[in-house]
Structure 1
Amino acid sequence: MKDKTTDYLIIGNSAAGLSAAASIRKNDKNGTISIISSEEYTNYSKPLITYYLAGKVSLEKVYFKSARFYKDNNFKLILGSKVDFLDERRMLAGISDGSQISYKKLLISSGGKPIIPKIRVVEGQNKLVGQRLLTGENYSDIKGVFTLTILEDAIKLKNYIDENNLKSATILGGGLIGLKTAEAMLELGLQITIIELSDRILAASFDKDASEIIENKIEENSGSIFTNNTVGEIIVTGGKLSSVVLRNGKKLDTNLLIIAVGVKPNVEFIQNQSIKLNNGIVVDDYLKTSMDNIYAAGDVAVSRGRLSNEQKNIAIWPLAIRQGGIAGMNMSGEKVKYQGGFFMNSVEILGIPSISIGLNNLDDKASEGVKVFSQFNPERYSYRKVTIKDDKVVGIILVGSIERAGIYCGLISNEIDISSVAVNIAREDFGIIQLPADYRKHLVVGEGIEV
């Protein structure tokens, strides 16, 4: 294949990459911009793939940029090709088709890839023959074993469920990905079994009270949840999944296993020490890596957290868009500082919406100056928890009623002193009228309007 040259090379055709490309084009009208993706699809909204799977949106509605977006901005789009290696010193990217692309500036926004646990695979019932370990390379060889992180996964999974008329699904992982998967399965009318290594589902985002509400609702609707457990063995018959064996020895017959234990930054093509890695690509406050002409954004980036000031990998869609936009500005001549981000996750199960924002499971080291206000009504599937540190909201959990989430998010983002209204902060009717007067006037309603 013929080698190529570009001014700006963007690895990744999703939220961060496209946001960066748009920012670059605003500042540099003539520079060549190449976007490369290992996927075959022009672009799509990753948060919508479970909605597509559930039949809530059509395939056409999953896409968020038209084909004209690339043409109008003179972007060179390379689909179905992945980056095999980087030569940072020579400013070259090696592509899977055998070609190379030389660049002046590089953005790595290659996203995440599913974590595949090393599970023993047994062919048939004879444990003495045919054993191997499940890996990222071979899991898709087993009919009935899937992940759900990209659109192709959702399409294949949807077709498999329809073609085999499946009535149940086993989900390995009770975190956000697992629960969004469970939501889609329930929408399709499948009975679900969730297997979670922690002592409860959504342990990273929710506290025990919030998790309990969701767990109870699932179990009331004939779902099963196994906590403090995982899959130790997969049994395959004729190339097709037939059952799984849990770590505690319990055997579950199942023809569908969806692995949803989490994602990790897709950085395998970075093979030397030029770019600093620490559970992702470490970037400074301008989204620049340890190499002056290389930036990173989105699910691969390890950046400063807004609330803890620690370096974190926060893999959520809104931050990917924001990081990509700022990285693109800085790649094309500006100097814009990234102010950091915080976790924000939402999921709806069996008609119960829930959202978690910020820090909600503070350990003892961070507990000084912390106050927690909450209301818990499990009979109504309702829970509200507001975590305050040094008179500022740093975290919220809402289950059942999430209409006020935007107000709380604004308080967190703008670091508003809420000492004057703290006593009412977790009330169901807490709203704009209870906000501190200055914040109400200048940040919610608008400057110059009396309220």
Structure 2
Amino acid sequence: MDYVIVGNGVSAIGAIEGIRQHDQDGRILIISDEEVPTYGRPLISYYLSDKIKFDTLPFRPESFYTQNKVEMKLGSRVLSVDTSAKTLMLDSGESVSYDKLLLATGGTPVKPPMPGIDGPGVHNFTTVAHAEALRDLVDRVNKVVVIGAGLIALKAAEGFAEKGVDVTIVVRSRIMRTYFDETAGELIVDHLEKNGIKFMQETGTNAIVRHGDGTIKGVETDRGFVEADVVIVAAGVRPNMGLAAQADIGTNKGIRVNDFMATSDPDVYAAGDVAEAKDLLTGEYTVRPIWPNAYSQGRYAGLNMAGADKPYTGGLSMNSITYYGLATISVGETNLADDAGFETEVFLDRERSVYRKLIFKDDKLAGCILIGDIDGAGFYTSFIKNGFILDDEARKRLAEGDPSPALWPDEFIEAMHNNP
């Protein structure tokens, strides 16, 4: 069996491990347009600020690929997929055949339509190559503007601020609105401002302004002009579905997959930030661009490519990150378009930057936001993920910040003991 994986993010690692769990001998080939094996993308801000070295970035050691008999074509781009002939055409002119194909092509940074965005001095921050380019600049610039509201924007800002650069984040609405409510966002902003990062929230970006020689002068916003030597555009990432569309594989907001991570072509699978896969809580099919889901989807794709016939149980919306020592986490239903049917319990201590918001639906915990004190995060997650029924006492203890495993159902605890 010839397995080919296009992309080299954490989904690829999951797929390798899934394949080898069921098939020890099939040929596995990874094709990636990046020059390096899979690395920890959330770590690139620490690499930018010199907190970690390059050799700490790899997600698995080199021996992992050798032990699992994995071949790699790095720095190679797939131009097209021929599903009838089961071949890929590479930019080198080489044709590669497959029996089972995984598209783990990730996401592409969004490029907002605005004057001045094309040209030198404007950067993205999603790959180690982006971090390398910025490392060459970080000690030579004084002012940086980051355009964006999400995790990538905040981590890019932190990477520069750690090096003493003047950083301003321009946000069209408010930060991290996908995962955090206004109170949580305020606590994060307050904490980052204390560490020197400036924010312009509810601010639109009109243009990137350049000097006569093309170098960056600054950013024109609807609240005035902001000077900058470099601009980081972190305005979101969209699924990289080009190959799927070219091959006439079904797409929507991402590459559509079934419960076995297979696409509309039964020999082509998709996983990670490009896949529109099942959500554990809602049962809907959606794109959840986060690392734990990407790994899990890759693993199930690998298992099923190898014939294991194991359905993916679904991903969980989750975000966990630390900003200058302030730990934050959100899990499950935290960004409600409609509050109907949901109830919330809130604890807030602004002085200590501690916030706990629990979202209940009927007699279950549906989501949580934790800022500052995240010690119980794993236990809260277990209640959300497993859909445990809560009586009044259990709900009271969760609301008081005591999500003890003693509240787990007896049958769940027994099952854990029986299946360690």
Q: TM-score, normalised by structure 2?
A: 0.94
Which of 128, 139, 143 is 1:151 aligned to?
128
| 1:216 CA displacement | 2.2
Please list, as runs of the form range in 1=range in 2, the aligned pairs for 1:157-236 lying within 5 A after superposition: 157-162=134-139, 164=140, 166-198=141-173, 200-236=174-210
Three-state SS of the structure 1 residue aligned to 2:243 is coil
1:264 aligns with 2:253: no
Contact 1:418 1:436 in 2 (8 A): no
Distance 2:186 2:115 in 1: 31
Letter in 2 for 1:178: A
Report the alpha carbon displacement of residue 201 of structure 1 after superposing the two structures with TM: 1.2
| C-alpha distance in 1 between matches for 2:318 and 2:27 | 35
- Match for residue 32 of structure 2 among 17, 30, 37: 37
Alignment partner, residue 77 of structure 2: 82
Structure 1 residue 438: deviation in Å? 2.5
Distance in 1 of aligned mates of 2:252 and 2:302:
23
Greater Cα offset, 299-308 or 341-350: 341-350
Deviation by residue 1:236-292 (Cα, 9 ceiling, x = unmatched): 22232121111x161111012111111111122334473110121000000000001
Say whether residues 1:308 and 2:303 are aligned partners: no
SS of 2:260's partner is: coil
Match of residue 319 from structure 1: 293
SS, match of residue 399 in structure 2: coil
Q: Aligned partners of 1:435, 1:187: CA distance in 2, in Å?
A: 42
Moved more, 98-107 or 417-426: 417-426
Task: Provide closer, same or farther for how the CA distance between residues 434 and 193 of structure 1 changes in structure 2, counting only shifts above 3 A.
Answer: farther
Alpha-carbon spacing, 1:260–1:437, altered in 2? closer, same or farther (3 Å): same
CA change 1:93–1:439 in 2 (3 A) is same
Confirm whether residue 288 of structure 1 aligns to residue 265 of structure 2. no
Corresponding residue SS for 2:295: helix
2:387 aligned to 415, 424, 441, which one? Answer: 415
Equivalent residue for 1:425, pick from 398, 413, 418: 398
Provide the rounded CA distance (Å) in 2 between the counterparts of 1:442 and 1:242. Answer: 64
Residue 330 of structure 1, CA deviation: 0.5
> What is the CA deviation profile of residues 23-69 of structure 1, one whole-angstrom value per residue up to 9, with x for unaligned ones?
22332233222110000002211121122222222111111222222
The Cα of 1:110 is off from its aligned counterpart by: 1.1
Q: Is the 8 A contact 1:172 1:230 kept in 2?
A: no
8 Å contact 2:147–2:233 — kept in the other structure?
yes
Give the Cα separation in 1 of the matches to 2:278 and 2:245: 24
1:250 matched to 2:224: yes
Residues 19 and 436 (structure 1), Cα distance of their counterparts in 2 relative to 1, 3 Å cut: closer
Partner residue of 2:47 out of 47, 52, 69: 52
CA contact (8 A) 1:186 1:350 kept: no
Which stretch shows the higher mean deviation, 259-268 or 216-225?
216-225
Contact 1:285–1:303, Cα closer than 8 Å, also in 2: yes
Q: Is the 8 A contact 1:302 1:312 kept in 2?
A: yes
CA distance in structure 1 between the partners assigned to 2:74 and 2:5 by the alignment: 12
Query: What letter corresponds to residue 161 of structure 1 in structure 2?
Result: V
- Whole-Å separation in 2 of the counterparts to 1:380 and 1:343: 26
Give the distance between the partners of 1:281 and 1:161, measured in 2 at CA.
37
Q: Identify the residue that residue 380 of structure 1 maps to in structure 2.
A: 352
Measured at CA, do residues 442 and 44 of structure 1 come closer, stay the same or move farther in structure 2, by a change above 3 Å?
same
Contact 1:180 1:347 in 2 (8 A): no
2-structure distance, mates of 1:67, 1:379: 46
In the alignment, the residues of structure 1 paired with residue 419 and residue 321 of structure 2 have an alpha-carbon distance, to the nearest angstrom, of: 37
Aligned to 2:340: 367
| Residue pair 2:358, 2:368 contacting (<8 A) in 1 also | yes
Query: 2 CA distance for matches of 1:249 and 1:14?
Result: 38
Residue type at the aligned position of 2:16: A
| Alpha-carbon distance in structure 2 between the residues aligned to 1:442 and 1:169 | 55
- Provide closer, same or farther for how the CA distance between residues 153 and 272 of structure 1 changes in structure 2, counting only shifts above 3 A: closer
Q: Structure 2 CA distance, aligned partners of 1:350 and 1:66?
A: 28
- In 2, are the aligned partners of 1:40 and 1:80 still within 8 Å (CA)? yes
Q: Give the conservation status (yes or no) of the 8 Å contact 2:31–2:77.
A: yes
Gaps spanning 5+ residues in structure 2: where?
none
Paired residue for 1:100?
95
Q: 1:377 to 1:95 in 2, by over 3 A?
A: same
- CA RMSD, 1 decimal: 2.1
Deviation of the 1:170 alpha carbon: 1.2
Paired residues of 1:421 and 1:436 also in contact (CA < 8 A): no
CA, structure 1 residues 440+9, in 2 after alignment: closer, same or farther (shift >3 Å)? closer
Q: Deviations over 1:164-185 (max 9, x none)?
A: 1x34321111212212222323
Q: CA deviation at 1:425?
A: 1.5
CA contact (8 A) 2:80 2:246 kept: no
- Secondary structure of residue in 2 paired with 1:120: coil
SS of 1:354's equivalent in the other structure is strand
- Distance, in Å, in 1 between the alignment partners of 2:301 and 2:412 is 32
Question: SS of the counterpart of 2:136?
Answer: helix
1:108-123 matches, cutoff 5 A: 108-121=103-116
How far apart, in 1, do the equivalents of 2:57 and 2:178 lie?
27
Paired AA for residue 130 in structure 2: D
Separation (CA, whole Å) in 2 of partners of 1:54 and 1:324: 30
Contact in 1 for aligned 2:239/2:273 (Cα 8 Å): yes
Q: Is the 8 A contact 1:274 1:291 kept in 2?
A: no
1:425 aligned counterpart, secondary structure: helix
Distance change >3 Å, CA 78–CA 433, structure 1 → 2? closer
Aligned partners of 1:447 and 1:33: how far apart in 2?
35
Cα distance between partner residues in 2 of 1:448 and 1:261: 44
SS at match of 1:35: strand
Q: Say whether the 8 Å CA contact 2:7–2:103 is kept in structure 1.
A: yes
> Alignment length, in residue pairs?
418
Does structure 2 conserve the Cα–Cα contact (< 8 Å) formed by 1:16 and 1:322? yes
Label 1:167 to 1:403 Cα distance change in 2 as closer, same or farther (>3 A).
Answer: farther
